Structure 1
Amino acid sequence: MSARDGTNGTGANGQVEMDSDHFSPYRPDGKLYGFVCVVTGATHPVGMAITLELAACDVASSEDYTSLAAEINKAHPNTKVIGYPYKFANEEDTLTLIDDVLNAWGRLDVWVASSGLLGPPSLEETSPDDLQKCFEANSMAPFFALKYAPPAMAKTTSKGNYPNAAPKGQKYGSIVVVSSVASTYGGCWGPCFTMSSHAALGVVRAGVATLKGTGVRINCISPGQIDVGVDLQGFDMRGLSSQLPPASLQSEKAQREHIGLERAGLPQEVGRVAGFLASGFSSYITGANLVVDGGASVMNPLTVPI
């Protein structure tokens, strides 16, 4: 949870003033500031990279969330990162988290749903319980964000008494769902992953109409092969502890042949896209599915599956 503050103004016709002092959360140096953000799945490599991006930090990643938060808070005292363990696919826990955010900061601006599970790699290994777990992690969590975050994002507030505080005079917000290229393609891993990733994109597409008039945008990021630091050695083939397939499942030769940029992506490259969607720079983008796969699905759509 990254707490900073910012706002945007409106003109006489109610349109957003793009040159307002607080509209864009990016300073001239390109760093994000000003918003109160929630990032789920922050202990995953991709979620961790997103947290670093939203915190505007250049800090080495860490597997220990407590250490990561301590490093960010020490390096950037105007940024407050708070660990908040909760069941991301639980309705009551989601509502409690939102209440705590509003009680502490008076506002909510960004919600990034980056939790995710692979599920088993084959139909034979897939049980109904596996399918349920994947739908909870990959699509139920974004659904709760869509349902409950926008009313909190509509809250306006006067300037707070914490560092970087500024008033929020207009309702607005950004919901970012981190899914996978499995949101539009089949066979990227197992059936659980494909079905629940399609459902995650469905949440985004359904959200555009339901969010009309709220000032809240919702978008999807669909990563392809991302090197999350996991290889096949000792890898749990059931996939229940990982978010994305290991990049090592495709050899370097296969990556050169099948990916336009000839390599797997990095978690930081997904984080930068999330920072863009969280910011005012993407103010006219909603309902989009930004595919971050180095061009693989465009160049060789039939070879994307592993």
Structure 2
Amino acid sequence: MGRLDGRVVLVTGAARGQGEQEARLFAAEGARVVLADVLDEAGRAVAEELGGKSARYVHLDVGDEAGWPAAVAVAKDAFGRLDGLVNNAGILRFNALEHTPLAEYEEVVRVNQTGTFLGMRAVAPELAAAGGGTIVNTCSYTALAGMASLTSYAASKAAVLGMTRVAALELAGRGIRVNAMCPGGIDTPMINPAPLDPGAGRAAVDELFRAHVPLGRAGRPEEVARLALFLTSDDSSYVTGQPFVVDGGWLAGLSLF
């Protein structure tokens, strides 16, 4: 018996990184998964590997309002219902506050913040019709603690945390639980070493985590996926409206010894 037997879950940003690992783990735990992304070739490849009985792929730009009804329709047409959503899709841009162009700020907000809003709004009626369900929003360490050069990203993720709490209050009566994951540095394609040290590349990223994270390393996508599984499964049946930090101890503080 899998922990998600019989459930249908839509995962955004599922072509790679955290979203891919979430889709793979959910399918292994018995769910039927709809993988949504703008990286069509990679997304289709993951869905095909998981198999037609377990997965479908749909092109979805999460910040485009018109795309969401089609994504929900894919889930219902293929599997008859929708029980859960993982709002994983996101983008990261490094820039100092005074050097951040408005267009860049708005791009990050469109994907990270507006995309999450549109996703919750689109799936809520379907989850209620299925008798209840779960929404897991991917927030960030930076929603809880500042980080230089991440004004747009931190702002968008702080908004996601606020929306998570409000949605949890509004949707609880319809049997829908809404929670947020707050990852620290996770080893995915989103981590770009260039702003840290263009010459050092990956070595600069590894040194950053050794210096600042108590566990001494970046997180792995599958470690975030296991948290998403917990929040989507009945193991978290009395949990809603909460942020869950998965950061190797980064937020706990600075170790001097």
The answer to whether TM tops 0.5 is yes
| Cα distance, 1:152 vs structure 2 | 0.4
Structure 2 residue identity aligned to 1:68: V
Hey, what does 1:50 align to over in structure 2? 22
* 1:94 equivalent among 50, 63, 68: 68
Q: What is aligned with 1:202?
A: 162
Give SS of 2:217's match: coil
**Which string of whole-angstrom CA distances, capped at 9 and with x for unpartnered residues, describes residues 149-175 of structure 1?**
11101224xxxxxxxxxxxxxx11100
Counterpart Cα distance in 2 of 1:250 and 1:105 = 41
Closer, same or farther: CA 231–213 of 1 in aligned 2, 3 Å = closer
Find out whether 1:192 has 2:165 as its counterpart.
no
2:48 is aligned to 70
For residues 291 and 190 of structure 1, what CA distance do their matches in structure 2 show?
Answer: 18
Q: 1:230 Cα deviation (Å)?
A: 6.6
What residue number does 1:211 align with?
A: 171
Which position in structure 2 is the counterpart of 1:110?
A: 84
- The answer to whether the 8 A contact 2:96-2:148 is kept is no
**TM superposition shift of 1:141:** 1.4
- The structure-2 alpha-carbon separation of the partners of 1:36 and 1:97, relative to structure 1 and needing over 3 Å to count, comes to same
Aligned to 2:139: 179
Deviations 1:123-178 (A, max 9, x none): 2431111111111111111111222211101224xxxxxxxxxxxxxx11100111
Contact 1:247 1:264 in 2 (8 A): no
Aligned to 1:162: none
Alpha-carbon separation, structure 2, partners of 1:152 and 1:84: 17
Alignment coverage as a number of residue pairs: 241
Shift of 1:105: 2.7
Residues 152 and 188 (structure 1 numbering): CA distance in 2 closer, same or farther, change over 3 Å? Answer: farther
For the 8 Å contact 1:260–1:296, the answer to whether it is kept is yes
Q: For 1:211, what is the secondary structure of its paired residue?
A: helix
**Corresponding residue for residue 117 of structure 2:** 143
* 4+ aligned runs moved over 6 Å, structure 1: none
Output the TM-score relative to the length of structure 2: 0.84
* C-alpha contact (below 8 Å) 1:32/1:53 kept by paired residues: no
Looking at CA atoms only, which structure, 1 or 2, has the larger radius of gyration? Answer: 1
Pairing 1:225–2:185 present: yes
Whole-Å Cα distance in 2 between the matches of residues 222 and 32 of structure 1? 22
Q: Deviations over 1:26-71 (max 9, x none)?
A: x2xx5543211101111231111111111117xxxxx822222222
SS in 2 for 1:64: helix
TM-score (ref. length: structure 1) = 0.71
Instruction: Supply the AA of the counterpart residue of 2:49.
Output: E
SS of 1:138's partner is: helix
Q: Aligned pair 1:81/2:55, yes or no? A: yes
CA RMSD in angstroms comes to: 2.6
The partner residue of 1:155 within 129, 135, 152 is 129
Q: Which has the higher helix share?
A: 2
2:10 paired residue number: 38
Identity of aligned residues (%): 31
Instruction: Letter of the 1:260 partner, please give it.
Output: P
1:289 corresponds to: 243
